[in-house]
Each structure stands twice: as structure tokens, then as C-alpha cells.
Amino acid sequence: MINREVFARDPLKNSIPNDGVAKIVEPESPGDWDVLRYELSTFVCEGEYRRGLETILDTYLRNLDRPTQPAAWVRRYLAPRG
């Protein structure tokens, strides 16, 4: 068995419309909506990442009525190749 056989979608048959770079923007074009649809349909959120995201979103929602919001920086970690 090879790695790609364990995925629900074959990664060689699906392209990433945004080259893996997520942006927070208001979708304006059909392409923007395609990227958003792709991101939402392929996003996996489990374990500590899930709990962290829940904390960030909960804090944001609890502070909607305030003039400033606590901030969070989300960064994708790329493991070194080689």
C-alpha cells in the first residue's frame, strides 16, 4: 500500500487552487469562491489544533462588542526537507 491510497481523495488527482496559501478576504470572484469551497471541504481539524481553534474563535465571539480584539497568529509549519 502507498500513502495516497489511504486518503479519501487521491492527492495526485486533486489540485490545490490556492497553492496551499490561505488568505482572509471577502470572496469576490468565482475563483475566490472556488478556493473557499476547496478550503472548507478539505480542512481537517483534530486534537490540540482543534482545541486551539475553538479557543481562538470562542475568544473572538466573546469580544465582538469591544473596540479591540485579542489577536492570534496562525502559521503553517513546514518541516525541513532532506
Region for residue 19 given its phi and psi (left: phi exceeds 0; alpha: psi -120 to 50; beta: otherwise): left
pLDDT of residue 6: 79
pTM above 0.75, yes or no: no
Q: What is the mean pLDDT of the chain?
A: 79
pLDDT of residue 76: 64
Instruction: Kindly report, residue by residue over 57-82, the tens digit of the pLDDT.
Output: 899 899 989 988 887 776 666 666 66
DSSP line for 40-77: HHH----HHHHHHHHHHHHHHHHTTTSSS---------
Instruction: Kindly report, residue by residue over 6-18, the tens digit of the pLDDT.
Output: 777 777 787 777 7
Q: How far is the CA of 79 from the CAs of 29, 38, 68, in angstroms?
A: 33, 23, 34
Region 40-47 average pLDDT: 74
